[in-house]
Copies of this chain bind each other. A is one copy, B any other.
Amino acid sequence: MKDPIPRKTVYRLSLYNRCLEQLGFAGSGTVSSEVLSKIAGVKSPQLRKDLAYCGHVGKRGLGYDVVLLRERLAETLGTSRLPAVVLVGTGNLGSALLRYQEGFAKEGFEITAAFDARPEKRSSDISVPVLPMTELSKFVTERGVKMAILCVPGTAAQSVCNLLLENGIQAILNFAPVILQTPPGVAVNNVNLAIELENLSYFIK
């Protein structure tokens, strides 16, 4: 049973992990909480509190052993074994994300397949296999895929979401402009770039 780590803490733990990775720390060495918190852009006491969820990883006056810290972060976040991901909806945004596959791969994620109602319309520069929606159930259940990226139009989002959940998907990164209705135990993170931009424009004077 995992500890109930607050969602915002999980987010920051991911952030620390990325910061350590991006800094390209060599195989050994330590990093102080002051340095790491500065890079991550959080307050140092916040960082220490967050990292306490990973057990006793810091040494007083010496900082954090980088190798140990990254191992513990991966264990805590469950990212030592990154799950397979499918993408549904290969329109403008879905295609852009598939072309970003290289970027995801660098971060340790692999989109194993994409699905679309009209798979034949995919552009030639996409290397991920694009399959028809009718093959989704079989693919996802056979391979035990638990995570999906949803890029279908808003009007189709809820029904595709239901199909995903019926086939064992437990976590969805949702790009459709709809708040999905899901049962407890399903995790949904929403990203809508147009809404983010529109939302920001409200704050411009």
Contact = CB atoms under 8 A, between A and B. Distances in A.
Interface of A: 2, 5, 7, 10-11, 14-15, 17-19, 22-23, 39-42, 77-79, 82-83, 85, 91-93, 95-97, 99-100, 102-104, 106-109, 146-147, 149, 153-155, 158, 170-173, 177-181, 185, 187, 189, 191-205
A173 B154 contact: no
27 contacts: A10-B199, A10-B202, A15-B195, A18-B192, A22-B153, A22-B177, A39-B154, A42-B179, A78-B204, A82-B198, A83-B204, A85-B197, A92-B102, A93-B100, A96-B97, A96-B99, A100-B193, A107-B194, A109-B197, A146-B204, A147-B197, A149-B197, A170-B204, A170-B205, A173-B197, A173-B200, A189-B199
Contacts of A180: 41
A184 to B, nearest CB: 11
Contacts of A172: 200
A38 to B, nearest CB: 9
A201 B154 CA distance: 24
Nearest to A83: B201
Closest 7 CB pairs of A and B: A41-B179, A187-B203, A92-B103, A171-B200, A107-B194, A96-B100, A18-B177
Given A10-B199, A108-B194, A189-B199, 12 more contacts: A2-B202, A14-B199, A18-B194, A19-B154, A85-B197, A92-B100, A93-B103, A95-B99, A147-B204, A170-B203, A185-B205, A191-B196
Given A11-B199, A199-B189, A178 B96 contact: no
Contacts of A154: 18-19, 22, 39
A112 to B, nearest CB: 13
A145 to B, nearest CB: 10
Contacts of A92: 100, 102-103, 106
